[in-house]
Amino acid sequence: MSVTSNKVSLPVIKRLPKYYRYVLEMQKNGVVKVSSSELARMMGTTASQVRQDFNCFGGFGQQGIGYHIDVLADQISKLLFSENKLDTILIGTGRLGRAISGYLTAEARGYHLMAAFDKSPEEIGKTLDCGVPISNIADLEALCAGRVPDVAVLCIPRDSARQLAPILVGMGIKGFWNFSHYDLSVDYEGITVENVHLGDSLMTLGYRVRNEHQD
């Protein structure tokens, strides 16, 4: 209840990428303008919510006459991305880590993968598809001493994440993209954490499929 006016709430921030996807698709299809109610239908929400969300970022155009797709695409893009890419390190180069490195280098703008680490002797010395070499996790602090990364992507087991997190926070990491089963967000309130709990997602799906399709 005591939110500062400049601070946009997390649920609104989390909807931005979804708006962006729908806006880009309309742009691709040659749509020029869109109303808040049309956007709401695509997003599965209400027109009032769309207008409220956009007002958090200055409004994105005049209400009543609809939003210009090009303006929306441009404004949301400026919010989501930046000329200054976030220096990023990947920790854990197993199958998931390698799949994720593709996202970082190809699909997602705004990130620069500067190094990758693993503890397995079989991985160290190899190179990711994007050309980044895999270093020994033991050299983490030495290799990042000259240039502190902004973001660490954790594709490692729960216990490794728990051990490494305080070291990474101590190094100055500002954000985590966390695929381990360890909830970093509970421990580090000042740090930005996106937990992606694939196991949780799969358990939730199983519960819902079994319970919503019973009898």
Which of 51/162 has CB closer to its own copies?
162
The reply to whether 207 sits near its own copies by the rule CB under 8 A is yes
Beta strands in 11-110 (DSSP E): 33-34, 67-68, 86-91
Work out how close the CB of 70 gets to its own copies at its nearest, in angstroms, rounded to a whole number.
Answer: 19
Amino acid at 106: A
Return the structure tokens found at 108.
């997602």
- Residues 18-77 close enough to bind its own copies by CB under 8 A: 18, 20-21, 42-44
The reply to whether 147 sits near its own copies by the rule CB under 8 A is no
Which of 129/139 has CB closer to its own copies?
129
Return the structure tokens found at 177.
């993209």
CA nearest to 152, candidates 125, 184, 120: 184
The reply to whether 171 sits near its own copies by the rule CB under 8 A is no
Amino acid at 53: D
Contacts of 149 (CB under 8 A, 6+ apart): 87, 88, 89, 114, 115, 171, 173
The reply to whether 183 sits near its own copies by the rule CB under 8 A is yes
Among 36, 111, 132, 140, binds its own copies (CB under 8 A): 111
12 φ, ψ to 5°?
Answer: -65, -45
Which residues sit at the interface with its own copies, rule CB under 8 A?
A: 8, 10, 13-14, 16-18, 20-21, 42-44, 79-82, 86, 94-96, 98-100, 102-104, 107-108, 110-111, 150-151, 174-175, 177, 181, 183, 185-186, 192, 194, 196-213
